[in-house]
Amino acid sequence: MLKKSRISAIILSLIIISTFLYSGKVRAAEAWPSDVDTLSSAAIVMDVHTGAILYEKNIDAQYYPASITKILTTLLAIENSNLSDVVTFSHDAVYKNEGDSSHIGRDLGEQMTMEECLYAVMLESANECAYAVAEHVGGGDVNKFIQMMNDRAKELGCTNTHFCNPNGLPDSNHYVSARDMAIISRAAYQNKIFDKITGTKTYTIPPTNKHAEPTLLNNHHAMLNYYQTNKYLYDPCVGGKTGYTNDAGATLVTYAKKNNMTLVSVVLHGDTQTYYTDTTNILEYCFDNFKAYDLSSQSSTGVDNLVGKLGPLNSDSKYIMKGEDSNVILPNSADFANVTAKLVPSQKEDVAAQIQYYYADRFVGSADLVFLKASDVPYPFHNIDEVYGGSGITYFRIDFKLILIVLGIAAIVFAVNRFMRQKSGRILLKKKRRRDGKVRRRPKTKYTTINRNRKKSRRRRR
């Protein structure tokens, strides 16, 4: 039976011996496109699928996020509540979050579904709705929800981020980095409900117990929706979130799809006159200078070589396989032969290890090595242990290659044996005849001489 501890030991050993190069060493400064800049103080473009960073500027510096904070608020609400939940607006939700900040004018005791609240949070950046959502998910305690925000950020790998509220209102201890915000935004977009909400241009909240008329919501992201102006509309844009405070300046998260890639960009501490053009420029630059490689279409991806390192551990290697839907992002000028790969342990329960790919010293994608399930086994004879999803049925495996080799050898032996038997039989028969004196010789012919007239003679056979 394959034990998890045994797999861990195998993986640790492979880390030492399995790092390999396809060919050559590429210097990052020469190989990575970087001929673009922004007026915003910090910016990043990340591939949503792989997590590869295609463009960066001051990505680990700390800045105030303003309302792009609501991306994490929305994600946590989706993960920890039902869209049909009824959210009731408290005194704090209404009176601590309206005033001069963005809101949709909710009243004390007003009730809306969680789904309606989240559309108000993402489209209209409604601060009172974000606060009410946090109270609901936190069981009436907004501080509990804020702790959930910080815990989730840490879980995602954020190292320069700290949240003090669910809506992004000014606080000196409320900050993010461009890298961390991209990580959070990437995780959010991978949630299908969030994907749907962020890409919605308009939404209507039906009448509530406090409002007799429907409430129309408009997405404020000008690259997605014709809101106040069409100047910044960008066809590849599929969602995002705006933010602004005096201290934070203009902040923006944008999702865009083009050329088989889905990218997320973040700009921090920008200007309202330029943060849309900054975003468009860096996204277009990345779409024009990078492309996605599907690992399943590559003749050599390193997966077979690394799995092959298991060598004599044949009983173990049958339990793992390459994860599906894996790709890498490379500059257009890159040669896939210059990609390097290494095997690293995985903390996921169903993943044995992960292959990470690098180009010009930059992470460009990964592929998981996962434990086989019974339905994935390529043989019909239930050839894995029950603990790994096997049927437990006694099985046998037919090795057709070995059978053909054996049959070939048998045919050769049979032919040689038959030839030797025929030859030796003829030799023995000849010896036997000689020994018994039965080797036939032509008998001597007798003749009679006849003389006629003493002139001629001839011999007559008797």
Give me the amino acid identity at 351: V
At 443 the pLDDT is 57
Question: In degrees to the nearest 10, what's the CA dihedral of 387, 388, 393, 399?
Answer: -140
Distance CA 69, CA 176 (A): 9
Phi and psi for 165 in degrees, rounded to 5?
-155, 165
CA within 13 Å, CB half, 79: 16
* Residue-level pLDDT at 461: 52
How confident is the model at residue 300, as a pLDDT?
A: 55
Contacts 24+ apart (CB under 8 A), 257-262: 258/287, 259/287, 259/291, 259/292, 260/291, 260/292, 261/47, 261/49, 261/286, 261/287, 261/290, 261/291, 261/292, 261/329, 262/47, 262/48, 262/49, 262/189, 262/238
Res 437: pLDDT: 62
| Contact present, 208 and 111 (Cβ < 8 Å) | yes
Helices 127-137 + 70-80 axis angle, to 10: 40
Beta bridge partners of 254: 240, 265
Give the N- to C-terminal CA distance of the chain in Å, as an integer: 99
> Which pair of tokens denotes residue 228?
């106040």
Instruction: Give the burial string for 367-376 (b: 16+ CB within 10 Å, else e).
Output: bbbbbbeeee
What letter represents residue 409's amino acid?
I
- How far is residue 131's CA from residue 108's CA, in Å, rounded to a whole number? 13
What is the C-alpha to C-alpha distance for residues 25 and 2, in angstroms, rounded to an integer?
38
Please tell me the predicted confidence (pLDDT) of residue 12: 43
**What is the pLDDT, as a whole number, of residue 351?**
76
- Spans of all domains in the chain: 4-22+300-388, 54-256, 398-462
Looking at residue 293, its pLDDT comes to 87
3-state secondary structure the chain: CCCHHHHHHHHHHHHHHCCEECCCCCCHHHHCCCCCCCCCCEEEEEECCCCCEEEEECCCCEECCHHHHHHHHHHHHHHHCCCCCEEECCHHHHHCCCCCCCCCCCCCCCEEEHHHHHHHHHHCCCHHHHHHHHHHHCCCCHHHHHHHHHHHHHHHCCCCCECCCCCCCCCCCCEEEHHHHHHHHHHHHCCHHHHHHHCCCEEEECCCCCCCCCEEEECCCCCCCCECECCCCCCCEEEEEEEEECCCEEEEEEEEEECCEEEEEEEEEECCCCHHHHHHHHHHHHHHHEEEEEHHHCCCCCHHHHHHCCCCCHHHHCCEEECCCCEEEEECCCCHHHCEEEEEECCCCCEEEEEEEEECCEEEEEEEEEECCHHHCCCCCCCCCHHHCCCCCCCCCCCHHHHHHHHHHHHHHHHHHHHHHHHHHHHHHHHHHHHCCCCCCCCCCCEEEEEECCCEEEEEEC
From CA 249, how far away is CA 245, in angstroms rounded? 5
| Per-residue pLDDT at 223 | 97
Q: What is the pLDDT of residue 308?
A: 43
Residues 410-459 pLDDT 10s: 888 787 777 777 777 677 666 666 666 654 555 555 555 555 555 555 55
CATH of domain 54-256: 3.40.710.10
Mean pLDDT by 10 residues, the chain (462 residues): 47 42 47 88 96 97 98 98 97 84 94 98 97 97 98 97 96 97 98 98 97 97 93 97 96 97 97 95 96 74 49 42 74 87 79 85 87 53 48 62 80 79 70 62 56 54 51
What was the pLDDT predicted at 10?
45
For residue 17, CA distances in Å to 4, 223, 338, 344, 383 come to: 20, 48, 19, 11, 29
CB 317 within 8 A of CB 303: no
For the entire predicted model, the pTM comes to 0.73
**What is the predicted pLDDT for the residue at 342?**
86
The arrangement of strands across the sheet holding 249-258 comes to: 53-57, 42-47, 261-270, 249-258, 237-245
